[in-house]
Structure 1
Amino acid sequence: MKAHHDQHFLIDQNAINRIADLTEVNGKKVLEIGPGNGALTRALLERGARVHAIELDGILCEVLSNTFSRELSSGQFTLQHGDATRCPIPPFDRCVSNLPYSASSNITFRLLDIGFEEAVLMYQSEFADRMVARAGTKECGRLSIMVQTYAAVKPCFRLPPQSFSPRPEVNSTVVRIVPREPIFFVRDRRLYADVVRALFSHRRKTVRNCLRGSTGSMLSPVWVERVLSELPDEILTSRPEALYLEDFATIANIA
């Protein structure tokens, strides 16, 4: 079967079983984004999950409807034809998915906004590495900060290209994400997100210059001037990649 919309079908049955066993799904409402030909879907259903799948490709939706017609009839499986970056997503407990590479960032941020118990997600390895990069290191970026602010993230295992069909040109990494409250108090999540976005839009500049050139929806000139007058020079003269989670919270919490 031909892959559509940047999908690579997982064909390694051992890997499929490992992914399905990384989180308890029995009796849980499990969201699967990009089910493709249904290999992981079947493993989840066999483990007692109630799966809601969102698939962008209409042809694959037809395949999935035929493959899981019995589960559709029983209500154990529901299928939604749509784009997971923007379509309505019903309530769910856990998310287990082989995400399309091109939409990984948007989908991850959206899932964190919605909230869930736990997620097991597969990413391009380079993306996963950036997600778990420690704050205060050169590898750290907006993705690292936003995910680690609101969740505990743990890489589980890597998969080579031969685990998929067609073979991607990169390795993939399975990651477990468990949401939690921020370690450091965040007064306004929208403002915090705008601050992080503004700082990493110009990561080679100092924090002072990043904020002066910011255009975030909540970063008004008045607010920026207040921040510049209250922050210590230690933060203002640093580059965003040198900041820690506490520093981002300190900036965003200035009223």
Structure 2
Amino acid sequence: MRAPRGQHFLIDRRAVEKIAGFVDVSGRRVLEIGPGEGILTRALLERGAEVIAVEIDPALVEELEVTFADEIERGRLDIIRGDARKVDLPPFDIVVANLPYSVSAKITFRLLSIGFETAILMYQKEFVQRMIAPPGTSNVGRLSVMVQTYASVKPLLELSPSAFRPKPQVRSWVVRVMPHEPPYPIVDREVYADVVRVLFSNRRKTVRKGLQSGRAAFPPGTIEGAILDLPAELLQRRPQDLSLEEFAMIANRLTGC
């Protein structure tokens, strides 16, 4: 079977067994994004999961419907054809997925906004390194701040290109993502997300200049008021040097708190 839309099929069965076994899925509703040929789908079903598989490619959906016809009839597998970034999703408890590399960030943000108990997700290694990058390091960015604000990420397994068909040009990491409440109070999560986005869109500028450059994203006058209320030392720093607490402080000032 071909690999559509840049997808790389996981073929290493030992890796599949490890991934499917990182969390107890028995009797749980498990969301799988990008099931491909269904090798991980089968491992999850064998462990007693009720699987919701979201696949964007119609040819793969047809193949999966034939391969897993019995499981679909028994109500243990629901295959949804669509884009995981925007398709309606039924309730689920756990996520186990080999995410398409090209849309990893958007799907991750969506999953965090929906909520789940735990997720076992596969990403490009470099992507994970950005997810877990601490403040003040070269890899820190919007992804780092947004993920670390709402979840903890723990690498579990590294896979070489030979674990896939066709072989990607990069190594992959499987991680456990555990949602948690923000470590510091955030009055308005949408404002917080806008602050992080605006500042990292102007990452070479100071916080002051970055906020001023992105004033169109906020109600009139709020940027000027926040700048007057924020510590001068903070305003002179770059976004990659800010802590999660300081991002929360900026966002809360913009909401008048």
Q: Which amino acid aligns with 1:234?
A: E
* 8 Å CA contact retained: 1:152, 1:178: yes
Aligned partner of 2:119 in structure 1 is 119
Give the drift of 1:23: 1.1
Q: How far apart in 2 are the matches of 1:166 and 1:110?
A: 27
* 8 Å CA contact retained: 1:186, 1:252: yes
1:89 partnered with 2:89:
yes
Aligned partner of 1:37 in structure 2 is 37
Aligned partner of 1:12 in structure 2 is 12
Q: How far apart in 2 are the matches of 1:221 and 1:175?
A: 41
The residue correspondences of 1:94-113 to structure 2 (distance < 5 A) are 94-113=94-113
Aligned partner of 2:61 in structure 1 is 61
The residue correspondences of 1:157-196 to structure 2 (distance < 5 A) are 157-196=157-196
The residue correspondences of 1:193-208 to structure 2 (distance < 5 A) are 193-208=193-208
* Secondary structure, counterpart of 2:5 in structure 1: coil
The CA deviation string for residues 49-104 of structure 1, in whole angstroms up to 9 with x for no partner, is 00000000000001100111010000000000000011111110000000001110
Cα distance change, pair 10–32 in 1 and its aligned pair in 2 (3 A) = same
Cα distance change, pair 16–188 in 1 and its aligned pair in 2 (3 A) = same
TM-score normalised by L of structure 1:
0.98
Please report the RMSD computed on the Cα atoms of aligned residues, expressed in angstroms: 0.9
1:253 partnered with 2:252:
yes
Cα distance change, pair 13–216 in 1 and its aligned pair in 2 (3 A) = farther
Structure 1: segments with no counterpart, 5+ residues: none
TM-score normalised by L of structure 2:
0.97
Give the drift of 1:155: 1.1
Instruction: Please list every run of at least 4 consecutive aligned residues from structure 1 whose deviation after the TM superposition is greater than 3 angstroms.
Output: none
* Secondary structure, counterpart of 1:253 in structure 2: helix
How many residues align structurally?
Answer: 254
Give the drift of 1:24: 1.2
Cα distance change, pair 220–154 in 1 and its aligned pair in 2 (3 A) = same
* 8 Å CA contact retained: 2:215, 2:223: no
* 8 Å CA contact retained: 1:30, 1:95: yes
* 8 Å CA contact retained: 1:198, 1:216: no
Give the drift of 1:221: 3.4
* 8 Å CA contact retained: 1:121, 1:176: yes
